[in-house]
Amino acid sequence: MQNKKILIFLPDGIGLRNFAYSNFYNVGQNENFEVTFWNNTPFNLTELSFKEIKIENSKSNVLTEVYKNARKEIELNLNIKKTKDKVYDSYRFPLPYKGIKKTVKSVAIRFLTFAYSTDKGLIKIREKISQLERKTLYYDQSIKTLQRENPAMVFCTNQRPLTAIAPILAAKDLGIPTAAFIYSWDNLPKAMMVIETDYYFVWSNHMKEELLFYYSYIKEENIFVTGTPQFEIHFDKEKLLSREEFFQQNEMDLTKKYVCFSGDDVVTSPDDPKYLEEAAVAIQKMNDKGFNLGIIFRRCPVDFSGRYDEVVKKYPDIIKTIDPLWKPFSSSWNTILPTKEDDYLLSNLAEHCEMVLNLGSSMVFDFVSHEKPCGYFRYNQKVQLDNTWDIFKCYRYVHFRSMPTENPVFFMDSPDLIPDAIEKALKENEQILINTRKWFEKINQHPPQFASQRIFEAIKKIVA
């Protein structure tokens, strides 16, 4: 009898939305697979009636983080050398030098980056990471788990976390096929590949080409284009409330039309509260002309700061806050995890709002799934909280080069132009939506609602 057990490895909470809250598990069962989550998150998946194996100790080698960070720096250096494009410098984070431990780590990263910034040097760094992780108790425990469970395949939901290295190495050393899902549309140019697997699952042909470009050691036949399950919820009409139900549930004014303002984290957009205020002023001006509009403010799920409070209090008749339904398991940002209920909330927001406004977010794809346009702010504040921050840096990132020539979003290039931009999007959005659909089709394999099905079709080929 063919082994049908697939271990879905969740190294952190990032994969919950794609693989625990989507239709993924049900599709796997319908295809007669025994799907078990190898769970390194604090979330108890048995509450969703899923089979799971909890990981108790996921401690990596103390040196692995240093080598992992050096690997990223080296890859960015090699990308600059390969492309003659300095944009890759913008993906670096300043190394910390506060305290002896952090200083020693940062000095070590800088040394390794200097000494190994060649193709051969990068291979040595990758090999060293594997050597270090094979010495850990975490690796030994992973070997035992895999020997006990005997899966046909280990599928990792995210290529980025340090905690994914040891289990993937253990599976490969036991001859078990491994696969990694490239989590986000912007990850590959950022040098965010941490694990190395036998197979890779990507959103689109565009992402496949990126994977082959940045990681030439990966063979084309080992890449599967499937799309991402994160957009499936938008095509599940049973999860949509009526306008009346949604408005009543969230204490919204049925006589108004609402624009969604999707907040960013403080690093991505330190001046975000000011953009929210300028959007509120624009809506106020439009209402003075006879419109009847409001703003739904959805903050970034990991931003629990009070930085927006003053603006929200200042415009109570315009701004209505509906917070994401994420659950904090501790004060650390990476243990604030999404919930299934938040997926339903986001889908209903996109269905019942007229559009979304933000700074370069992938929310553009959530909203176009409901035939709603997206507007991007594209100007710096005159008085900035962080003078080193530049909104135009965001739009120079490599993943924005995938945009069609004709704009798939409407841009707001100054506070004074926001009212006209919103008004035009309310009245004449069909051409924008045509362009947005083209962008979405380039970024994510269509039809979007069948991503999970395509993933299991690929898994069938691997384990056959």
Provide CB contacts within 8 A for 88, sequence distance 6+. 76, 79, 80, 189, 191
The per-residue pLDDT for 331 is: 55
Q: What is the mean pLDDT of residues 81-100?
A: 95
pLDDT at 263 over 60: yes
Share of the chain above pLDDT 70, in %: 98
**DSSP state, 450?**
G
pLDDT at 209 over 90: yes
Strand-pairing partners, residue 39, are 10, 54
Contact 421, 411 (CB under 8 A): yes
CATH number (3.40.50.2000, 1.25.40.10, 3.40.190.80, 3.40.50.1000) of 237-443 reads 3.40.50.2000
The per-residue pLDDT for 384 is: 87
Least confident of 283-297, 322-336, 425-439: 322-336
pLDDT at 19 over 70: yes
Any idea which architecture 5-60+136-228+448-463 has in CATH?
3-Layer(aba) Sandwich (3.40)
CA distance 249 to 20: 25
pLDDT at 414 over 90: yes
The per-residue pLDDT for 13 is: 87
Q: What is the mean pLDDT of the chain?
A: 95
Least confident of 11-15, 166-170, 251-255: 11-15
Strand-pairing partners, residue 358, are 376
CB atoms within 10 A of CB 246: 19
Tokens 């009526």 — which residue? 242
pTM, 2 dp = 0.95
CA-based R_g, the chain, Å: 23
Residue 403's nearest CA partner among 357, 455, 362 is 362
The per-residue pLDDT for 105 is: 96
Write out pLDDT tens, residues 356-366.
Answer: 999 999 999 99
The per-residue pLDDT for 304 is: 85
The per-residue pLDDT for 337 is: 84
Distance of CA 207 to the CA centre of its chain: 14
pLDDT at 401 over 80: yes
Q: What is the mean pLDDT of residues 386-412?
A: 94
The amino acid sitting at 404 is P
The per-residue pLDDT for 171 is: 98
Residue 416 vs residues 241, 279, 282: alpha-carbon distances, Å: 35, 10, 8
Write out pLDDT tens, residues 214-248.
Answer: 999 999 999 999 999 999 999 999 999 999 999 99
The per-residue pLDDT for 388 is: 84
pLDDT at 194 over 90: yes
pLDDT bucket at 332, cuts 50 / 70 / 90: low
CA distance 363 to 359: 10
Tokens of 26: 């049900």
3-class secondary structure, 435 = helix
The domain spans of the chain are: 5-60+136-228+448-463, 64-132, 237-443
Phi, psi (rounded to 5 degrees) for 295: -115, 130
The per-residue pLDDT for 262 is: 98
Least confident of 108-122, 195-209, 382-396: 382-396
pLDDT at 281 over 80: yes
**DSSP state, 88?**
G
Strand-pairing partners, residue 179, are 155, 199
Q: What is the mean pLDDT of residues 71-95?
A: 97
CA distance 163 to 149: 20
pLDDT at 333 over 80: no
Least confident of 37-41, 157-161, 276-280, 325-329: 325-329
Q: What is the mean pLDDT of residues 151-175?
A: 97
Share of the chain above pLDDT 90, in %: 91
Residue 241's nearest CA partner among 347, 341, 343, 121 is 347
CA distance 261 to 291: 18
The per-residue pLDDT for 65 is: 97
